[in-house]
Amino acid sequence: MSDALLSAPVAVAADVVAAGLLVVASLRIKKNASDNAVALMGVMGAFVFAAQMVNFSVPGTGSSGHIVGGVLLGALLGPWAGFLTLTSVLIIQCLIFADGGLMALGCNVLNMAAMTTLVSYPLVMRPLLHYPAAPWKVMAVSVMACIVGLELGACMVTVETIASHITALPPNRFFLLMTGIHLAIGVVEGLATGAVLLFVQRSRPELLQPDAIHRDTRRNVRGAVIGFAMAAAVIAGGLAFLASEDPDGLEWSIERVAGTSELEAEHVGALSQVAEAAQQSTAVMPDYEGSFAGIAGTVMVLILVWVLSSLLVRSRRRQKEKA
């Protein structure tokens, strides 16, 4: 998810929910975790970066891949510590590697971290996987959990994008594209996650036992349910927003969920309505010809300012060198 595809209300709503989840996670970790959690979570965040650096070849294809690591972190650290760790990785990717953008951070945290660590791990993997487990079972459950986590994320991306009205891609196509891609990614991520869990089970099984970081299992599930409810609230909020701004928006989504195939005709109508609305709203501003002039003019002024500012930097640097 990227800043460019999000409208402010959607981004802010997601930021607020993500921030809320982070506060809950911080409080729970402060209260429940053993104090070596600080060191463990910190280095595990760095571990995610290192693990993402090395690619593996995807079975059956010539390509290579790396993992996001949500379900894996859930399995190794527990839901909340895993969530906080993956979130910290996303924040650093956003700030230092300019991945996604600051506004989209909330969405990314919900889509990539919350859906895997707070929903898919506790609701799919933990109930199904009891160590020691047979290798095929570890693999199967990992794949399942990753698919569920990533598909939920893909759904969130679709809803967020469509509620934002910035891409012109029709929602049903966008949805199919996202879920299709993420089904494949989910399988690969699941296999990779399973491979790591198998290794840990073989060499240090005690690390997979619930320790101080992920004790109080029952309440963690409740936490996950709360997280899920909040995510659902965002989706619902997004849909409501869609509905209020564009009456046809909600119909799209409902039909998409219901899987009706008569979408196309309906959809074209909706799109032209949006186009009309857009034309009306831009009519207040200068007409398109004028706005082209505006664009060209602004670009020229920008270039001018850029040249001036770089001259400024250079002269300042020269002064520094002299000093």
Applying CB under 8 A, the span of 214-222, 223-231, 232-240, 295-303 interacting with another protein comes to 295-303
Question: Per the structure block, which two tokens stand in for 304?
Answer: 């001018």
**Exposed / middle / buried, residue 258 (Cβ in 10 Å: 0-12, 13-18, 19+):** exposed
For residues 67 and 123, which CB has a smaller minimum distance to another protein in the complex?
67
Contact between 44 and 86 under an 8 Å Cβ cutoff? The reply is no
Site for another protein in 255-284 (CB under 8 A): 271, 275, 278, 281-282
Tell me the closest approach of the beta carbon of residue 229 to another protein, in angstroms. 22
- Contact in structure between 165 and 7 (CB atoms under 8 Å): yes
- Tell me if 212 contacts another protein by CB under 8 A: no
Which residue, 43 or 233, has its beta carbon nearer to another protein?
A: 43
Q: Does 61 bind another protein (CB under 8 A)?
A: no
Query: Residues of 71-110 as b/e, b for ≥16 C-beta within 10 angstroms?
Result: bbbbbbbbbbbbbbbbbbbbbebbeeeeebbebbbbbbbb
At 182, list the tokens: 């993420």
Minimal distance, residue 119 CB to another protein, in Å: 20
The residue (of 75 and 148) whose beta carbon lies closer to another protein is 75
Give the nearest distance from C-beta 226 to another protein in angstroms: 18
176 binds another protein (CB under 8 A): no
3-state secondary structure of 62: coil
Phi-psi region of 259 (alpha: psi -120 to 50; beta: other; left: phi over 0): left
The footprint of another protein on residues 25-54 (CB under 8 A) is 25-27, 29-30, 35-36, 38-47, 49-51, 53-54
One residue of 70, 74, 82, 170 binding another protein per CB under 8 A: 170
What is the tally of helices (H) and strands (E) in the chain?
12, 2
In contact, 70 and 149? CB cutoff 8 Å: yes
* Among 115-123, 168-176, 212-220, 221-229, the segment contacting another protein (CB under 8 A): 168-176
Of these, 212, 233, 254, 300, which contacts another protein (CB under 8 A)? 300
Pairwise CA distance, residues 273 & 322, whole Å: 63
Asked if 291 touches another protein (CB under 8 A), the answer is: yes
Query: Does residue number 95 form part of the binding site for another protein (CB under 8 A)?
Result: yes
Nearest distance, CB of residue 283 and another protein, angstroms: 11
Number of residues that bind another protein (CB under 8 A): 102
110 binds another protein (CB under 8 A): no
Q: Give how far Cα 129 sits from Cα of 122, 136, 142, 207, 209, Å.
A: 10, 11, 9, 15, 12
How far apart, in Å, do the first and last CA atoms of the chain sit?
A: 46
Task: Specify the residue, 20 or 127, whose C-beta has the smaller distance to another protein.
Answer: 20
32, 85, 120, 220: which one binds another protein (CB under 8 A)? 85
Among 132, 176, 199, 247, binds another protein (CB under 8 A): 199
Q: Does 7 bind another protein (CB under 8 A)?
A: yes
